[in-house]
Structure 1
């Protein structure tokens, strides 16, 4: 991601960009104002202009559409933006459950204990990163 784009995608401008990206269709100024609870349409226009100057949005018959997707840490499914960490979390949680239920030996060994601890730590780390990304709103 270029420095210019990183500088632009912060705060309310990031929220406007995410809103337009989630809609998946051309979005007008008033729609963004109402959708994000902005104080005036001119505030939405200001953020649209910043995003347009950075090359992230373009005008299409008076409305704005996403020109480039620069959120590399997310996957877009329909109208949802899901952090990539979410999929790693699901993988490690599944591996942890499989390790406990399917691959459990009759006698517990240090190798088995080590693998359970490593898988659990990995699952916990990715769950934490997923929650942090979702709650912080950096997607």
Structure 2
């Protein structure tokens, strides 16, 4: 992954770039228009040109665009060809912590004091709250970059 200037990589341009990465091949303005739900091929063409100017895409001899390289995008991490928001990863970590807490609570429930049970219940509630907050934020970030599946 490269550290190119990705400040212009947001909104529709980001969606066009993500489609090109998911497609993993040559993409043209018409298919980008359909996948990113744009109004016309010229709008898609403009965003493809912008990505070419940024150095993220190259144009082949038939006028199609190919991803030159994947770049790091702030707030997201690449998992294969899928862009996952950081909060989604945090929510998965908190899910693992929650499962561990519930297993420990189930094992120790019958032998521990009421104070331990109360403390552990509060700890579990805090973990659930963190899990929900990160999951909701991650889903909101996913909705912003949602595109149609690559054919």
- TM-score bin (small chain): 0.7 to 0.9
Alignment gaps of 5+ in structure 2: none
Contact 1:29/1:41 (8 A) holds in 2: yes
Say if 2:81 is the partner of 1:74: no
Residue 94 of structure 1 is matched in structure 2 by 96
Going from structure 1 to structure 2, the CA distance change for 1:34 and 1:136 (only over 3 Å counts) comes to closer
Q: TM-score normalised to the size of structure 2? A: 0.72
Alignment gaps of 5+ in structure 1: none
Moved more, 14-23 or 84-93: 84-93
Report the CA distance between 1:123 and its aligned residue.
1.4
Q: SS in structure 1 opposite 2:32?
A: helix
* RMSD of equivalent CA atoms: 2.6
Residue 112 of structure 1 is matched in structure 2 by 120
Q: Which one has the largest radius of gyration?
A: 2
Q: How many residues align?
A: 135
Which of 1 and 2 has higher RCO (CA within 8 Å, sep 6+)? 2
Contact 2:12/2:36 (8 A) holds in 1: no
Going from structure 1 to structure 2, the CA distance change for 1:130 and 1:37 (only over 3 Å counts) comes to closer
Question: What does the per-residue CA deviation read over 1:64-86, in whole Å, with 9 as the maximum and x for residues that have no partner?
Answer: 122232325132345x4332332
Q: TM-score normalised to the size of structure 1? A: 0.77
**How many angstroms apart in 2 are the aligned matches of 1:45 and 1:130?**
30
Moved over 6 A (4+): none
Residue 59 of structure 1 is matched in structure 2 by 59
Going from structure 1 to structure 2, the CA distance change for 1:136 and 1:36 (only over 3 Å counts) comes to closer
Q: How does 1:1-139 map to 2 (within 5 A)?
A: 5-6=6-7, 8-61=8-61, 62-70=63-71, 71-72=73-74, 73-77=76-80, 80-100=82-102, 102-104=103-105, 105-106=108-109, 107-108=113-114, 109=116, 111-137=119-145
**How many angstroms apart in 1 are the aligned matches of 2:133 and 2:36?**
31
